[in-house]
A and B are shown apart, each in its own frame.
Chain A
Amino acid sequence: MSHAPRPARYLHPVAWWMWALALAAAASRTLNPILLAGIIAVAWLVVAARRADTPWARSFRAFMILGAFVLVVRVVFEVLFGAPLPGTTILTLPEVTMPEWMAGVRLGGEVTLEALVAALYSGLQLVAILACVGAANSLANPTRLLKSVPGALYEIGVSIVVALTLVPAALEHLQQVRDARRLRGRATRGLRANGRIGGAVLTGALERSLALAAAMDSRGFGRLRPLSRAERRITASLMLLGLLAAIVGGYALLDASTSPRVATATLVVGLTLLVVGLIRANRRAVRTVYRPDPWRWPETATVAAGVLALVAFTVAAWVDPVAMLPSTWPLTWPALPLWPFAAILVAATPAWLTPPVPRPMKDAAESVDKPSPGLPVRMAA
């Protein structure tokens, strides 16, 4: 890299998602609290360094609050419903034994240190996975992610975005209809009034949808290259078959009674068919992407950092399961597996390797001829 300050740009959203999902998959390979805490810290660091000044970028905090809630629930459930395995008792709760017709479940009773630590470990794993997903949500721009969606799914993606933007509009319309009714001295409560209001809101939504459809049509949305019927049928059957095989394979992989070899093979075949089908369906699209996001070395480095962590964790779980899944019975201090820990540190490098995010506020304050805060910033593309 040159010594000049790097031009600010958003990293490719797919790179962020791949980094985060690889890190989440790595977290699912271990129950070692040090490694899990490391993953959470790394996710936080990268979010703090590279999140944009946008509403969705605040979602990391929400995910961490959710994580704390999950951790508490996990520990409380262990205390209430955990199996009374022998161990070091630290607390004795009043005990309730359910009657026989409720399977005779025992609630409360002795709380052992071992069970509590095991619950903390598994809760921490959930928190780490949530932190990774939260980081991806916070770092990747959803509208830019939509651009990377394959052409065959573009219409579906646009529908989702349109639906999401129309929800606030519908809520606003609801309020307007209510206010109008109140001004006219009509009831705003009760079944009858709600039916009328609902009808008006629905009519409004329909009108807006038609107007939007007309606007999109006039701009050339949904134009497709004409294809033969055979071509379309092949594409459709490929996608359908692929989806079916992928679902069956995924289920078989989770279901313990199927051999993992068959499950993996079915899943791979299904995904391959799906990809082939998507590529073929892409031919119908005559759409070009406006200002596409570039994929340069920071993107590759980010994905590599995440995948490296995943590989290190998977290999370590296979080679050294004792360190990756520390024993809670008998209770031992968790060891620090060196290589997975080093991989976590590598996974933190996107905090520096990636280009800085554009800051509309700051840029506008520094120079007058930059775009104003509300407008989209020009990409360095």
Chain B
Amino acid sequence: MTRTLRPAALRHTGRRALALALVTVAAVTLVGAWGGGTAEAASYRFWSYWVGGGSDWSFSSQGASRRPPDGGVDGWRFAISPDSASAVQPRRSPSFDRICRGTPEQDGQKRVGLVIDFGTTSDAPEGESPPQMLTTCAVVPEDANGYEVLTTVAQLRIDDGMICGINGYPATECGKVVSDPTTSPDDDGDGEQSGNSGDNTGGSGTGGQTSQKNGSGTAGSGEQAGDKSDDQPSDKKRDKNDGKKREQGKSASATPDPEAADQSTSAASALQPTAGAPSSGSPVGLIAGVAVIVGIGAAAFVLARRRG
């Protein structure tokens, strides 16, 4: 019925709107085509936890909250994978005998082999290069879980209940989404570049290898201002470790595993978490801020009471 009433002006706007709609549809299609290439294979770059059994690695549904048995081997691998089910395994076989050969048993403690695989260069965040693989034998209390085993030998960066970085690698990111394993578009990670590259050139000798690795960890985590104060005690611990290692250095053979085992025994003695008590920042600004907020709250309270 309205077709007969249709004025020329309306017909005009109708055509214009149709054109607009067509243009937007074209724009959507174009945008889809333009972005389609980057949106194809989205994966995550993260540390995955592995349980060693015989010569194979297997995935644990419990994650690292699992308590590894005496004589077990834990593995950690940093890699890009679409999900946890298809995560990439550590590249060294979980042989407890080989890893813990040089570590004596202790009363009330258990020995757990630990393989920390920092991954390949292609999996590394831009500007960072993966440290050498770390293989140690951790001596921990009987009830220690996977996380506690890891803390005995490595510096962790944890965010929101996730292991984000081990020994400062990666430096800043956490479970980052990467669109393609070969071309990872990262915008972070420029400051730690020099520290890590320096580490890689220096870390060729067997003796200096582990200490260099720890050094790279400091360079990476030291970037975050909040961590700075906490790095102090751990640095001291590391110095102590290095000193102990130098004493035992003569007995260490050329193969990397017993060497790493030596390092782990000294680290295991310092099981106490280094990042225990809250560090004291600058309390003046903090107190002022809290005072202002309490003031606002008090004003709100008074106003609300007056209104009834």
Residues of A within 8 A of B (CB): 34, 37-38, 41-42, 44-45, 47-49, 51, 82-88, 100, 103-106, 114-115, 118, 122, 226-231, 234-235, 237-238, 241, 245, 256-259, 261-262, 265-266, 269, 272-273, 276, 280, 322-323, 325-336, 338, 341, 345, 348
Whether, in the assembled complex, B276 has its beta carbon less than 8 Å from a beta carbon of chain A, the answer is: yes
Determine whether the beta carbon of A228 is less than 8 Å from that of B14: yes
Extra 5 A-B pairs, beta carbons < 8 Å, given A34-B290, A228-B6: A34-B286, A38-B289, A235-B17, A280-B17, A327-B159
- Chain A residues with CB under 8 Å of B28's CB are 245, 265-266, 269
Asked if B254 is at the interface (CB within 8 A of a chain A CB), the reply is no
Q: Given A227-B10, A234-B14, are A115 and B161 neighbors across the interface (CB < 8 Å)? A: yes
Known: A49-B303, A227-B2, A348-B296. A335 touches B285 (CB 8 A): yes
Q: Is the CB–CB distance between B289 and A341 below 8 Å?
A: yes
- Indicate whether B227 reaches chain A with its CB closer than 8 angstroms: yes
- The reply to whether the CB of B249 lies closer than 8 angstroms to some CB of chain A is no
A237 and B161 in contact (CB under 8 A), knowing A84-B145, A333-B281? no
Q: Across the interface, do A228 and B39 meet the contact criterion of CB distance under 8 Å?
A: no
Interface of A is mostly: helix
Binds A, one of B58-66, B94-102, B111-119, B191-199: B58-66
Given the contacts A85-B147, A329-B159, A335 and B226 also touching, CB distance less than 8 Å? yes
B32-75 Cβ-contact flags toward A at 8 Å (1 or 0):
10111011001010000000000000000111111000000000
Closest chain B residue to A34 by CB distance?
Answer: B289
The 8 Å CB contact of B158, one of A49, A329, A332, A348, is A329
Q: A241-B21, A266-B28, A333-B279 are in contact. Are A83 and B65 (CB under 8 A)?
A: yes
Contact A261 B145 (CB under 8 A): no
Does B42 lie within 8 Å of A84, measured CB to CB?
no
B276 partner residues in chain A, CB cutoff 8 A: 87-88
Closest 8 CB pairs of A and B: A330-B275, A262-B35, A257-B42, A48-B303, A329-B158, A45-B300, A48-B304, A41-B296
Q: Which residue of B lies closest to A49 (CB)?
A: B303
Q: Which residues of B contact A85 (CB under 8 A)?
A: 147, 158, 161
CA A280 – CA B10 in complex, angstroms?
Answer: 11
Closest residue of A by beta carbon distance from B157:
A329
Min CB gap B45→A, angstroms: 12
Instruction: List B contacts of A345 (CB < 8 A).
Output: 292
* CB within 8 Å of A: which B151-166 residues: 151, 156-161
* Contact residue among A44, A237, A330 (Cβ-Cβ distance under 8 Å from B230): A330
Complex contact A238–B17 (CB within 8 A): yes
Q: Does B255 touch A at the CB level, under 8 Å?
A: no
Whether A322 and B225, one on each chain, are in contact in the complex, defined by CB atoms closer than 8 angstroms, is: yes
Instruction: Determine if B279 and A88 form an interchain contact, defined as CB atoms under 8 angstroms apart.
Output: no
The verdict on B208 contacting chain A, using a C-beta distance below 8 Å, is no
Question: Measured between alpha carbons, how far is A340 from B236 in the docked complex, in Å?
Answer: 36
Cβ-based interface call for B24 (8 A): yes
Q: Are A331 and B278 in contact (CB under 8 A)?
A: yes
5 contacts between A and B (CB under 8 A): A48-B300, A51-B307, A86-B151, A328-B159, A333-B280
Check B61–A103 contact: CB distance below 8 A: yes
Does A104 contact B62, Cβ atoms closer than 8 Å?
yes
Is the beta-carbon distance between B297 and A228 smaller than 8 angstroms? no
Q: Is B11 an interface residue (CB 8 A)?
A: yes
Q: How far is the CB of A262 from chain B (nearest CB, A)?
A: 3
Within the complex, what minimum Cβ distance (angstroms) separates A26 from chain B? 15
Which residues of B lie under 8 Å from residue A348 when comparing CB positions? 296
B contact residues around A323 at 8 Å (CB): 225-226
Contact across chains for B158 and A45 when beta carbons are under 8 A apart: no
Smallest distance from the beta carbon of B66 to chain A beta carbons, Å? 7
Q: Is the CB of A330 within 8 A of B285?
A: no
- With CB as the reference atom, state the residue of chain B lying closest to A345: B292
Q: Are B300 and A265 in contact (CB under 8 A)?
A: no
When the two chains form their complex, are residues B229 and A332 in contact, meaning their CB atoms are under 8 A apart?
A: yes
CB < 8 Å neighbour of A42 from B21, B296, B304: B296
Docked pose: A154 CA to B279 CA in angstroms: 57
Is the pair B148, A333 in contact by a Cβ cutoff of 8 Å?
Answer: no
> Cβ of B285 and Cβ of A262 under 8 Å apart?
no
Is B277 part of the binding interface, using a Cβ–Cβ cutoff of 8 Å?
Answer: yes
CB closest chain-A residue, reference B288: A336
Contact residue among A51, A118, A259 (Cβ-Cβ distance under 8 Å from B161): A118
Cα A345 to Cα B290 in complex, Å, equals: 13
Contact residues in A for B62 (Cβ distance below 8 Å): 103-106
Q: Is there contact, CB below 8 Å, between A259 and B38?
A: yes
Within 8 A of A (CB), among B161-182: 161, 177, 179
Give the distance in Å from the alpha carbon of A49 to the alpha carbon of B301 in the complex: 10
A277 to B156, CA, bound (A): 53
Bound-state Cα–Cα, A125 to B116, Å: 35
Please name the residue on chain A nearest to B179 by beta carbon.
A259
> Cβ of A45: which chain B residues have Cβ within 8 Å of it?
296-297, 299-300, 303
Cross-interface CB contact of A330 among B6, B44, B279, B292, cutoff 8 Å:
B279
Cβ 8 A contact of A83, one of B42, B63, B293: B63
B76 to chain A, nearest CB (A): 14
In the assembly, what is the distance between CA of A83 and CA of B63, in Å?
9
Instruction: Output the least CB separation between B50 and chain A (Å).
Output: 16
Is the beta-carbon distance between B14 and A44 smaller than 8 angstroms? no
- The answer to whether the Cβ of B283 comes within 8 Å of any Cβ in the partner chain is yes
B180 CB to closest chain A CB, in angstroms? 10
- Inter-chain CA distance A155–B76, complex, in Å, is 59
B8 to chain A, nearest CB (A): 11
Q: Does B18 contact A234, Cβ atoms closer than 8 Å?
A: yes
Indicate if the CB atoms of B25 and A231 lie closer than 8 Å.
Answer: no
Q: Which residue of A lies closest to B162 (CB)?
A: A83
Q: Is B224 an interface residue (CB 8 A)?
A: yes
**Contacts A83-B63, A226-B5, A228-B11: A327 and B227 contacting too (C-beta < 8 A)?**
yes
B261-293 interface bits toward A, Cβ cutoff 8 Å, 1 = contact, 0 = none: 000000000000111111111110110111011
**In the complex, what residues of B have CB within 8 A of residue A118's CB?**
160-161
A322:B224 contact, CB within 8 angstroms: yes
Q: Which residues of B contact A87 (CB under 8 A)?
A: 273, 275-276
* Smallest Cβ-Cβ distance to A280: which chain B residue: B17
Nearest CB in chain A: distance from B300 CB, A: 4
Q: Is residue B250 contacting chain A, with contact meaning CB distance below 8 A?
A: no
B85 within 8 A of A: no
Q: How far is the CA of A87 from the CA of B10 in the complex (A)?
A: 71
